[in-house]
Chain A
Amino acid sequence: MSDERYSRQSFLGPHAQESIECAVMGIVGLGGGGSHVVQQLAHVGFQQYVLYDPDCVEDHNLNRMVGATEADVKEARPKVEVALRIIRGLQQQALVETYRKRWQDEPLPLRRCDLLFGCIDGVGNRRDLEAAARRYLIPYIDIGLDVHQAGTEPPVMAGQVVLSMPGTPCLHCLGVLQEKALEQEGRHYGNAGPRPQVVWANGVLASTAVGIAIDLLTDWTRQLRPPVYLQYFGNEGTMQSSPRLTFAPKTCVHYPTTDIGDPEI
């Protein structure tokens, strides 16, 4: 790789590119959020990827899925192939493992990842992915976006980016995952229809998540100290640290750091 390509990001540190190139990045979900994440990681210079998504590109993805085209819809191209195409366009030599399936159906490749991005819908899915990340000591970055509408008020767009590190407060501790929501999802309570998603908000959240990952790997700011819980307010266009961090326990009570490795039967 030419030094020139990364000269504009040399402020990350003398060994930053080395750290970036040796990290194995896992991305679960390659739609609105995950497609941005993949694209940015490839630009930054990551060379090793593990990608999961069971779906093919559909027409309703084109409003936000970076890199997807009308031809992909016509050919019902798997999202993992679109992601692979994006990476190959920037990093021909990258090692990319693609899994056109749910990660739960082939979990072993996920475990070799150094860092995981969860770009998935549903609270149950996110609970399961964080649990796997905790068990195999993998830092997990969760992004989520939602749009709520109440009465005649304008819709409210809000989201979050959370860095969940082993030992520090988890999504349960931070109130991102709540029992009530998990129960409701389990009972298919309330059919809200398709989840509203838009490209610009997905882009903000994905960019923030990638920024956290780069900081974690290079320590360029020397001030990233987990947990990180950033709340996005789409109507105002602001991102701020969540007040829930103040009330979270210092250490995670849901995933003890001794409860790691393969489950013992």
Chain B
Amino acid sequence: MNTQLIIRLAHPLYGQVMVDLTRPHPFADERVSFLFTKAGTGPHGSILLFPVDYLPLQDEQYIDENDPLVGAAISGDALRSAMQRVLDTGMGALHVHMHAHHRGRPRFSPTDWHDLPDIVQSLRNANSQLIHGALLLSQDMATGALWLPDQDICKPLVPRVSIVGSPLRICPGGENRER
């Protein structure tokens, strides 16, 4: 068995995220938020991440960029609040958003892949020793992208993601992305 990265999200917290992300925003097409993770040690150097804390963003923390390719743009204040939570808790952060019209395994868009490295770099500025990344939800599944502390910012790793509830949803990882 190879080294694996695994994200396991408990259903109660998943439910909280879904409720928050599906709220309409006055002008943004979608909402984003942050999850903060505890870590666990797996076999053969594998790492498990467990989101335990959630930071929803306020309406005023979005900015109107009027760009049809961008569903939601967040302010520097929003990113700073996530960085502060990283500093306060010592937990890694996951940027979270949802492709609300999609069922099954979601895929990060080219815009996502373009923007995520900058967000992760900001989170690294708060704590470079932690694993940061992103979680993308569809209506019923989730996928992720992670950057280990020494990971090239252009080469995120794709973790296995499970939503631990009934049903138990598992999205295999592996197909790593090189930008």
Contact = CB atoms under 8 A, between A and B. Distances in A.
Interface of B: 1, 4, 6, 8, 10-13, 38-44, 46, 48, 50, 52, 104, 162, 164-168, 170, 172
A219 B167 contact: yes
B166 A137 contact: no
25 contacts: A15-B104, A23-B170, A109-B1, A111-B41, A111-B43, A112-B43, A114-B162, A114-B168, A136-B40, A136-B48, A138-B8, A138-B164, A139-B168, A165-B164, A166-B10, A166-B164, A167-B10, A167-B12, A217-B167, A218-B167, A224-B167, A225-B166, A257-B12, A258-B52, A262-B39
A115 B168 contact: yes
A150 interface: no
Nearest to B46: A112
Interface residues of A, number: 32
Most buried by A among B6, B41, B52, B167: B167
Contacts of A115: 168
A137 B1 contact: no
Q: Provide the main secondary structure of the chain A interface.
A: loop
Contacts of B1: 95, 97, 109, 112
Nearest to A223: B166
A261 B48 contact: yes
Contact of A136 (B8, B44, B104, B168): B8
Top 5 A-B residue pairs of the complex, sorted by shortest distance between their CB atoms: A261-B38, A219-B167, A108-B43, A137-B8, A261-B40
A90 interface: no
A260 interface: yes
Given A167-B10, A260-B50, A216 B43 contact: no
Given A95-B1, A111-B43, A260-B38, A167 B48 contact: no
B125 to A, nearest CB: 24
B175 to A, nearest CB: 13
Given A114-B170, A135-B40, 5 more contacts: A15-B104, A111-B46, A137-B8, A137-B10, A262-B39
